[in-house]
Structure 1
Amino acid sequence: MTENIEEGFMAFLGDGQEGIGAVREVNDTSIVIYVENAGEFVVPRTAVKDVHFQKVILRPDRLDKRLLTAIGHEHDSEDPNLVG
């Protein structure tokens, strides 16, 4: 079952993977995702693979290269000594 996307849902590159950001805005043609340490990115609805259990699963091959780069660096500012 596919849910409607709502603000606050988490975005993922695949089921079972770590979340990449939170949905901040939803409209008919796109969603806005906030990625920690990088800001907000507009993602076209065509890049959404599935939505379930308040998770938005994205198609990496349809994402902007800037967003993919940001995802790779979202945890750069974390202190590795605090990760548990």
Structure 2
Amino acid sequence: MTEHIEVGFMAFLVDGKDGIGAVREVTPTSLVIYVENAGEFVIPRSAVKDVHSGKVLLKPSLLDKRFLKAIGHVHDSEDPKLVG
């Protein structure tokens, strides 16, 4: 990791794609990430792939199935008429 993780950083599965959540809390062993429409999830530090430019890139293979399901619905409440 090239940067210290801070509250407010956005979380991503793939750099250059839409963010999936925001870091709400940082501990030595985990992060709390808020996912819109789903709430907060505790993510182990071992699931962090990289940190740069205010972004936390995560390793999907190390993420909980509940978290992966939640991020699949992160944009459900958006009005499709306003997107794009």
TM category (shorter chain) comes to over 0.9
What is the aligned length? 84
Deviation at 1:16? 1.3
List, as ranges, runs of 4+ consecutive aligned residues in structure 1 with deviation greater than 2 Å: none
Pair 1:77-2:77 in alignment? yes
**Matches of residues 1-84 of structure 1 in structure 2 within 5 Å?**
2-84=2-84
In the TM superposition, what whole-angstrom CA distance separates every residue of 1:3-24 from its partner, at most 9, and x where no partner exists? 0100000000011111000000
- TM-score, normalisation: structure 2: 0.96
Unaligned runs of 5+ in 1: none
**Share of identical aligned residues, percent?**
76
Q: CA RMSD in A?
A: 0.9
In the TM superposition, what whole-angstrom CA distance separates every residue of 1:15-68 from its partner, at most 9, and x where no partner exists? 111100000000000000000000000000000000011100000000000000
- TM-score, normalisation: structure 1: 0.96
